[in-house]
Amino acid sequence: MGDYLRRETHILFGVGTTLFFFRFLRGSLAELLFMAILGSLFPDLDVRLKHRVLLHNIFSMLVFLLATAILLVYLGYTYSTALELSLAGTYSYTTHLLLDSFTSRGVRLMWPFSNKWFGARSARYDNPLMNITFSMIGALLILLEIIR
């Protein structure tokens, strides 16, 4: 699968923390979930190209924010709702980069201006403890949202 965390871990942690911090948004729960999942998975679209480089940096994250906001406005959302949903998706994108920074490779956060790898680089991508820990945090936050 390569040197990245399990897809399920990214989704659970991204969705759980996004729901926890962004549930107050004007968009519906379905829209928020869609943006959280999109943001959680989008960075790994570079897996066959320059993985952990092309989409694992703050510049790609900003392009994601602007592109999703523009697309949502084009689809008929108000500017404020489009921005809020795009921010939620970008937050989830950020959680993806954060989690990948704990793996042995880290991320090239400042690419294309720097080739330096950033992160704690403390564990392999398939480390069961790391995947279970972040998955459980996300799952618990999702459960809190359900019972709230």
Q: Would you tell me how many other CB atoms lie within 10 Å of the CB of residue 96? A: 26
Each residue of 94-107: pLDDT tens digit?
Answer: 999 999 988 878 88
pLDDT at residue number 53 = 76
Determine the average pLDDT of the residues in 68-78.
97
As a whole number of Å, the CA-based R_g of the chain is: 15
Residue at token pair 């994108």:
93
Residues, the chain: 148
Each residue of 49-60: pLDDT tens digit?
Answer: 776 778 999 999
Q: Which of 126, 144, 147, 146 is nearest to 9 (CA)?
A: 126
Do 20 and 141 contact (CB within 8 A), yes or no?
Answer: yes
Do 68 and 45 contact (CB within 8 A), yes or no?
Answer: no
pLDDT at residue number 1 = 40
Please state the pTM of the whole predicted model: 0.90
